[in-house]
């Protein structure tokens, strides 16, 4: 993977050797011997572009993905397949985020620019589950006949790191030294 640094931004540009971002670069994995091609087979989507932004003053990072879902199998139900894709996407995004931190999610269809952004406001990481994302997306899909599985999606994850502790030194009682 080639990386460019632009004012607290890191853009990961896929090269021909690796079709997607390796799980080992993003977060801890249970098996360290997984290659990039095996990781791409496990994910039901392709990552076309990935960008990281950092806002140290606000203790916040942003992560943008441009993804496209893999083609649907002949005998697969589209609804079940989309649920699997949303579950894999949600798990991929919040894999390395601690449970106490806040995360927000925005999904935009790049193929159809007339569609509005689908957003989930800041929640604790342990509250952002695939079911929550599926409920929000399900409402949009019911009302939007133009949404298709072959569309490219732009996914933004906002991660706010919550401080741990109060930063002070605790003392027990008073010192009686004179």
The confidence score (pLDDT) of residue 152 equals: 87
Q: Are 141 and 153 in contact (CB under 8 A)?
A: no
Contact (Cβ atoms closer than 8 angstroms) between residue 58 and residue 102: no
How do residues 142-173 score in pLDDT, each as one tens digit?
Answer: 776 566 667 888 999 999 998 877 666 666 66
pLDDT digits (tens, 9 = 90+) for 85-144: 888 988 998 888 988 899 999 988 888 777 778 888 999 998 888 888 888 887 777 776
Predicted TM-score of the model (pTM): 0.66
In the DSSP assignment, the letter for residue 39 is: H
Neighbours of 91 (CB within 10 A): 12
Length of the chain counted residue by residue: 178
Yes or no: say if 82 and 153 are a contact pair by the CB < 8 Å rule. Answer: no
């Amino acid at each position: 993977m080639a990386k460019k640094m632009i004012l607290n931004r890191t853009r990961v540009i896929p090269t021909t050797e690796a079709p997607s971002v390796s799980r080992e670069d993003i977060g801890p994995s249970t098996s360290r011997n997984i290659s990039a091609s095996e990781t791409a087979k496990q994910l039901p989507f392709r990552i076309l572009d990935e960008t990281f932004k950092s806002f140290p003053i606000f203790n916040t990072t942003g992560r943008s993905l441009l993804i496209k879902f893999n083609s649907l199998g002949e005998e697969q139900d589209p609804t079940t397949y989309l649920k699997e894709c949303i579950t894999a996407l949600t798990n991929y995004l919040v894999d390395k985020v601690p449970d106490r931190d806040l995360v927000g999610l925005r999904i935009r269809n790049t193929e159809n620019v007339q569609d509005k952004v689908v957003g989930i406001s800041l929640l604790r990481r342990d509250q952002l589950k695939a079911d929550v994302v599926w409920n929000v997306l399900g409402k949009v899909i019911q009302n939007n006949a133009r949404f298709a599985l072959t569309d490219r999606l732009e996914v933004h994850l906002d991660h706010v790191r919550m401080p741990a502790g109060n930063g002070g030194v605790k003392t027990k009682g008073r010192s009686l030294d004179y």
